Amino acid sequence: MPTDTARPPSARFLRERDGHEARVTNVELFFDLIYAFAVTQLSHRLVHNLSAFGALETLVLWFAVWLGWQYTCWVTNWFDPERIQVRLLLFAVMLVGMVMAASLPLAYGERGLVFAISYVAIQVGRSLVVLAFLGRRHALTANFRRICGWLVISGIAWIAGGLLDGLPRFACWSIAVLCEYISPMFGFPLPVLGRSSAADWRTTEGGHIAERCQAFVILALGESVLVTGGTLSDLSTWSAPSIIAFLVCFAGSVAMWWVYFDTSSSAGSRAIARSTEPGLMAAYFHYVHVILIAGVIVSAAADDLVILHPPERIDWPSAWLLLGGPAIYVAGNGFYKRVVYGWFPLSHWAGLALLALVAPFAFHTDLLMTGGLTTAVMILVAAWESVSRRSSARTKEESLSAE
């Protein structure tokens, strides 16, 4: 392995590309804990803001949390977190990220400017440090200049929103999210700097990106389980309905894990590693996982309601929460498997259809019954998908053996 003195100064902090898949380091997993905290904050915020506009506000905040994590994920895909300088950068982002996450519940209130400043400090500050790591002549420099340019543009909208209130704040922050989410689709085009091409992303370690996304899903599901346990713990009296509600919510979390991790997570790692354009496929992974994990957040908020008020009648806000969370999660998984396998699974179409059938019935029953029905749908999707994938794998093995 070459020493630091044998490598160009601008390449000292980059990961070694030795033909082996870049592993996810402990410091990256430690870094993710901040965003697990942010997921919990968003789930709690959603429970207390069940209006349609409150849900849209939370959605914008979720996209901000995801984009902050995603852009850092790309940095650690190229740069070696075992280098002290890169590790210190991650710790600095963690520190500011803690402030950002702590301000989420009141981001549309008195802590809006705190949230905006901390978020912009993460996005722009990290990009400037990366440019300092690279120097002027490295092949990645032009790409990160474009990224930094777009983050500065979105940063102006974030800060402007932090200085405003109400609908104007929501509008500015929505524009900022669109800037950061859509600009990669077109190669971060900017006057003079041009745009990035697929060639700029071919050094991406696709397997590393897949594992990072999988780790975030685990953290989000883990936070969902912790929220469920915490809600049960906070109840002054453990009645039979609350215990049943807890069991239903736990079963739902297990089914959500099964839908994603039983076969498709490992298949995703293989698909992205074999792709001729791993950078493009890695980008698709980020685009679909933001939907998938949004389903986890909404479902966690729904579990909170079910355990706290199992016999309560369903209304519109609680209905969209209980049905919307699983629907978003199943749809997100379907899009993910569309990227991995090339088609949207029939089991997922069936799950979405069944959730649609449950919707009108939900208004004639209570939270516990509706939660039980959505959990049953998730279990059905998980079982169907598991049997289908294993059957396909056996058929393929038998075909290869016959040849």
Domain boundaries, the chain: 9-201, 206-395
pLDDT score recorded for residue 211: 84
Q: How many whole angstroms separate alpha carbon 122 and alpha carbon 140?
A: 20
Output the tens digit of pLDDT for each of the chain's 403 residues. Answer: 333 444 555 567 777 765 556 678 889 889 988 888 898 899 889 888 888 888 899 999 999 999 999 899 888 888 888 889 999 999 999 999 999 999 999 999 999 999 999 999 999 999 999 999 888 888 788 888 999 999 999 999 999 999 999 999 999 999 999 999 988 888 888 888 888 766 655 555 567 788 888 888 998 898 888 888 888 888 888 889 889 999 999 999 999 999 998 866 667 667 776 766 666 677 778 888 999 999 999 998 899 889 988 888 888 888 888 999 999 999 999 999 888 888 899 999 999 999 999 999 888 889 999 999 999 999 999 999 888 877 765 655 555 455 5
Cα dihedral sign, 305-308-309-311: positive
What is the tens place of the pLDDT at every residue in 374-385?
999 999 999 998
Q: How many other C-beta atoms can be found within 10 angstroms of the C-beta atom of residue 68?
A: 24
Q: How many whole angstroms separate alpha carbon 350 and alpha carbon 196?
A: 39
Cα-atom radius of gyration of the chain, to the nearest Å? 22
Residue in the structure block whose two tokens are 């986890």: 296
312, 367 contact by CB (below 8 A): yes
Q: How many whole angstroms separate alpha carbon 26 and alpha carbon 175?
A: 34
pLDDT score recorded for residue 265: 64
pLDDT score recorded for residue 102: 94
Cβ-Cβ contacts under 8 Å for 197 (sequence gap 6 or more)? 187
pLDDT score recorded for residue 18: 56
Domain 206-395 has CATH 1.10.8: no
Please state, in angstroms and as integers, the Cα–Cα distance from residue 286 to each residue in 176, 186, 268, 276, following that order.
18, 15, 12, 18
